[in-house]
Amino acid sequence: MAMDEWLFARAAEEPDSVFVRLYSWNPGAITIGLNQEIERAVDSSQLKGTAVIRRMTGGRALYHDPGELTYSIAASASGASSGILGSSVQETSRLISTALAGFLDDIGFATQIVRQSYPGFKEKDGFNKLSCFQSAARYEIVSDGRKIVGSAQRRINDTFLQHGSIKLNKQAEHPALSKKADCEPEPDETQWIKGKNLSDISESFSRNLAETLGISLAIRTPEEPEQQAIETIRDFLMKNPLMKRNLIKRSDPVESL
């Protein structure tokens, strides 16, 4: 989460760039949406040692198991990326979902893009009680009748960040989010999907995204000052994991937490 918040700040400073990050989780963890009520979204008595953190994006509570692929895309609607990723939340979501569907089709998943949000998606009671994969919003992706990608976006001024959880395996349940009191968190190990590991699939994802959006992607490793900035944000989040963060354009992202 610290890296994603740092990328959001970089996108505000570099409006002509698109930042893409891919990662997995070990150990697994639960994230909750920006505006969710922690007491209603998560059963703290069933956490069993699992970490919980509030995302800077919206959406619902989600257990990130070690077998998923998580993406984040940050860009500025005022820069060159506006013609690629659109100028509104809905348009950006549609374009990213189109790229994701192409990637999933490429690795063997037959997918459909949801054209209308599921009934009750926006109801407040369900918003806090249902987990991310128990409902689907417009432009999210399903495969064989199950939601396979859950995404959430945050846009401040001209800058946006979209998070997404891609469930290449079955949806892992967690007792803190599930109605099944006897379910257990998934084991903390990288799972193999169709003979490939997450590293192989990440390469396919990046290639498909670049081709679909017509952009060039290059691997970038943060330099020492940048790494220090990320670690500062990480330390803040570890001490304040459930705090709502009102990120704005600042040269120093820590001052906007």
Q: Which of 133-142, 160-169, 184-193 has the lowest mean pLDDT?
A: 184-193
Q: Is residue 194 part of a domain?
A: yes
Output the pTM of the full model. Answer: 0.81
Q: Is residue 77 part of a domain?
A: yes
Please state the φ and ψ torsions of residue 113, each to the nearest 5 degrees: -95, 125
Computed over every residue of the chain, the mean pLDDT equals: 79
Q: Of residues 189 and 239, which shows the higher confidence score?
A: 239
**Tokens (6 digits) for 152:** 């959430």
Q: Which of 132, 141, 149, 152 is catalytic?
A: 132
Strand order in the sheet with 69-76: 19-23, 69-76, 159-166, 146-156, 141-143, 112-113
**pLDDT tops 80 at residue 118:** no
Domain span including residue 228: 2-243
d(CA 6, CA 220): 14
What burial class does residue 182 get, using C-beta atoms within 10 Å of its C-beta: 0-12 exposed, 13-18 middle, 19+ buried? exposed
Task: Give helix then strand counts, H and E, for the chain.
Answer: 7, 9
Q: Is residue 252 part of a domain?
A: no
Q: Is residue 132 part of a domain?
A: yes
Bridge partners of residue 150, in order along the sequence: 165
Q: Which band of pLDDT confidence, cut at 50, 70 and 90, is reported for residue 140?
A: confident
User: Which of 244, 30, 42, 240 is CA-nearest to residue 128?
Assistant: 42
Where would I find the H helices in the chain? 2-13, 38-41, 82-85, 89-106, 124-129, 198-213, 224-239
pLDDT digits (tens, 9 = 90+) for 14-70: 888 889 999 888 889 999 999 999 999 999 999 989 999 999 998 889 999 888 889
Q: Which band of pLDDT confidence, cut at 50, 70 and 90, is reported for residue 110?
A: confident
Q: Which band of pLDDT confidence, cut at 50, 70 and 90, is reported for residue 220?
A: confident
Omega of the bond leading into 27 within 30 degrees of 0 (cis)? yes
Q: Is residue 207 part of a domain?
A: yes
Q: What is the CATH number of the domain that holds 55?
A: 3.30.930.10
Looking at this protein, which amino acid is placed at residue 158? D
Write the CA distances from 151 to 17, 131, 132, 163, 223, integer angstroms. Answer: 21, 12, 9, 6, 29
Q: How many domains does the chain have?
A: 1
Q: Is residue 85 part of a domain?
A: yes
Residue 53 in contact with residue 62, Cβ under 8 Å?
A: no
Q: Is residue 250 part of a domain?
A: no
Question: In the prediction, which pLDDT does 54 show?
Answer: 95
Residue 1 in contact with residue 56, Cβ under 8 Å?
A: yes
Highest mean pLDDT among 31-35, 106-110, 181-185: 31-35
* Residue 132 bears catalytic tag: yes
d(CA 151, CA 132): 9
Q: Is residue 55 part of a domain?
A: yes
Reduced to 3 states, what is the DSSP secondary structure of residue 148?
Answer: strand
Reduced to 3 states, what is the DSSP secondary structure of residue 183?
Answer: coil
**pLDDT tops 80 at residue 96:** yes
Q: Of residues 122 and 151, which shows the higher confidence score?
A: 151
